[in-house]
Amino acid sequence: MEKSIPEIFGSLVFDDRVMRARLSDEVYNSLRKTIDENVRLDIDVADAVATEMRDWAIENGATHFTHWFQPLTGVTAEKHDSFIAPSPDGGVLMEFSGKELIKGEPDASSFPSGGLRATFEARGYTAWDPTSYAFIKDHTLCIPTAFCSYSGEALDKKTPLLRSMQAINKQAKRILKLFGKEVKYVRTSVGPEQEYFLVDSEVFSKRPDLVYTGRTLFGAMPPKGQELDDHYFGVIKPRVAKFMEDLNQELWKLGILAKTEHNEVAPAQHELAPIYSTTNVATDNNQLTMEIMQKVARRHGMVCLLHEKPFAGVNGSGKHNNWSMATDTGINLLSPGETPYENAQFLLFLCAVIQAVDDYQDLLRLSVATAGNDHRLGANEAPPAIISVFLGDELTAILDAIKDEKPYEGAEKVVMKLGVHSLPRFNRDTTDRNRTSPFAFTGNKFEFRSLGSSNSIACCNIMLNASVAESLKQYADELEAAEDFETALHALIKRVITEHQRILFNGNGYGDEWVKEATEVRGLSNLKTTADAMPHLLDKKNMDMLMAHKVFTEAELRSRCDIMLENYCKTVNIEGLTMVDMVRKNYLPAIERYLHRLADTTRLMKSVSENVKCNYEITTMERLSELTDDILIAVKNLEDALAGVKKFDNVIDESAYIRDDLIPSMDKLRKYVDEAEMLTSERDWPFPSYGEILFSVY
Ligand code: ADP
Ligand code: MG
- Give the mutation target among 256, 276, 447 for probing the ligand 1 site: most ligand atoms within 8 A of CB: 276
Q: Residue 71 — pLDDT band, cuts 50, 70, 90?
A: confident
Q: Based on the number of CB atoms within 10 Å of its own CB, is 463 exposed (0-12), middle (13-18) or buried (19 or more)?
A: buried
b/e sequence 142-180, b meaning 16+ C-beta within 10 Å: bbbbbbbbeeebbbbbbbbbbbbbbbbbbbbbbbbebee
- 422 secondary structure, DSSP code: P
Q: How far, in Å, is the centroid of ligand 2 from the Cα of 230?
A: 21
Q: Would you say 141 and 64 are in contact if contact means Cβ atoms under 8 Å apart?
A: yes
Return the pLDDT at 420: 38
Question: Which pLDDT belongs to residue 1?
Answer: 59
Among 112, 293, 337, 102, residue whose Cα is nearest residue 192: 293
The burial of 59, by beta-carbon neighbours within 10 Å (0-12 exposed, 13-18 middle, 19 or more buried), is given as exposed
Q: Are strands 134-137 and 186-200 parallel, antiparallel or unpaired?
A: unpaired
**Model confidence at 577: pLDDT above 50:** yes
Q: What is the mean pLDDT of residues 172-182?
A: 96
Q: Are strands 64-68 and 13-14 parallel, antiparallel or unpaired?
A: unpaired
Q: Which of 271, 322, 349, 441 has the most ligand 1 atoms within 8 A of CB, as the residue to mutate?
A: 322
- How far is it, in rounded angstroms, from Cα 282 to Cα 452? 16
Cβ-Cβ contacts under 8 Å for 574 (sequence gap 6 or more) = 212, 213
Q: Is the pLDDT score of 375 beyond 90? A: yes
Quote the pLDDT of residue 80. Answer: 82
Segment 112-136 shows an average pLDDT of: 73
Mean pLDDT for 535-556 is: 97
Residue 497 Rama label (left phi>0; alpha psi -120 to 50; beta): alpha
Angle at alpha carbon of residue 319, lines to 314 and 321, rounded to 5°: 150
Which of 165, 232, 327, 445 to probe ligand 1 with, by most ligand atoms within 8 A of CB?
Answer: 445
Q: How confident is the model at residue 235 (pLDDT cuts 50, 70, 90)?
A: confident
Q: What are the angstrom distances between the C-alpha of 68 and each of 47, 132, 143?
A: 19, 11, 5
Q: What's the CA-to-centroid distance between 191 and ligand 1, angstroms?
A: 6
The β-bridge partners of 390 are 440
| Helix %, strand %, coil % of the chain (to 5) | 50, 15, 35
Q: From the CA of 528, how far away is ligand 2's center (Å)?
A: 24
pLDDT of residue 88: 86
d(CA 514, CA 520): 10
pLDDT tens digits, 208-226: 999 999 999 999 998 877 7
- Beta carbons of 560 and 537 less than 8 angstroms apart: yes
Whether 553 shows a pLDDT value over 90: the answer reads yes
Which of 158, 127, 113 shows the shortest CA–CA distance to 555?
Answer: 113
Q: Rounded mean pLDDT of 619-634?
A: 98
Q: 270 forms bridges with which residues in the sheet?
A: 196, 263
β partners of residue 305: 197
Mean pLDDT (whole number) for 83-93: 86
Q: Determine the distance separating the centroid of ligand 1 and the alpha carbon of 90, expressed in angstroms.
A: 55
pTM: 0.93
Q: What pairs with residue 318 in β-bridges?
A: 452
Q: What angle do CA 396, 397, 401 make, to 5 degrees?
A: 115
Residue 227 has pLDDT above 90, yes or no: no
Q: What percent of the chain has pLDDT over 90?
A: 73
Residues with CB under 5 A from ligand 2 (ion): 320
- Atom number, ligand 1, closest to the C-alpha of residue 442: 6
pLDDT at 412: 53
Output the CA 446–ligand 1 centroid distance in Å: 9
CB 114 within 8 A of CB 559: yes
Average pLDDT, the chain: 91
- In the reported structure, the alpha carbon of residue 216 is separated from the centroid of ligand 2 by a whole-number distance in angstroms of 27
Question: Smallest Cα–Cα separation from 42: which of 26, 57, 53?
Answer: 26
β partners of residue 195: 271
Mean pLDDT of 368-378: 94
Which atom of ligand 1 is least distant from the CA of 444? Answer: 23
Residues β-bridged to residue 125: 148
Please report the pLDDT score of residue 339 as a whole number. Answer: 60
What number does the ligand 1 atom closest to the CA of 273 have? 14
Pocket of ligand 1 (CB under 6 A): 189-191, 193, 273-276, 322-324, 332, 442, 444-445
Rounded to an integer, the average pLDDT of 133-159 is 89
Over residues 459-489, the pLDDT tens digits come to: 999 999 999 999 999 999 999 999 999 899 9
Task: Output 427 or 575, whichever has higher pLDDT.
Answer: 575
Report the C-alpha gap between 159 and 146 in whole angstroms.
5
CB 293 within 8 A of CB 271: no
- Categorize the per-residue pLDDT at 693 as very low, low, confident or very high, splitting at 50, 70 and 90: very high
Q: Which residue has the higher pLDDT, 127 or 318?
A: 318
Spatial distance between the Cα atoms of 213 and 204, rounded to a whole number of angstroms: 12
Report pLDDT for 282.
Answer: 96
Degrees to nearest 5, angle at CA 688 with 682 and 692: 100
Backbone angles phi, psi at 137, to 5 degrees: -140, 130
Atom of ligand 1 nearest to the CA of 322: 26
CB 59 within 8 A of CB 51: no
CA distance 272 to 589: 42
pLDDT at 422: 45
pLDDT band at 433 (very low <50, low <70, confident <90, very high): low
Beta strand 389-390 pairing with 439-441: parallel
| Predicted local confidence at residue 338, as pLDDT | 65
**What distance in Å separates the CA atoms of residue 196 and residue 310, rounded to the nearest whole number?**
10
In angstroms, the first-to-last Cα distance of the chain is 30
Residue owning the nearest CA to atom 6 of ligand 1: 442
The residue-averaged pLDDT of 671-694 equals 97
Instruction: Say if CB 357 and CB 389 are below 8 A apart.
Output: yes
Predicted local distance difference test score (pLDDT) of residue 395: 85
Query: Per DSSP, what are the bridge partners of residue 191?
Result: 322
565's enclosing H/E stretch is helix 554-582
pLDDT value at 159 more than 60:
yes
- The count of other CB atoms within 10 Å of the CB of residue 540 is 7
Distance from residue 320's CA to the centre of ligand 2 (Å): 6
CA-nearest residue, atom 7 of ligand 1: 275
**Residue 121 reports pLDDT greater than 80:** no
Q: Note the ligand closest to the C-alpha atom of 448.
A: 2
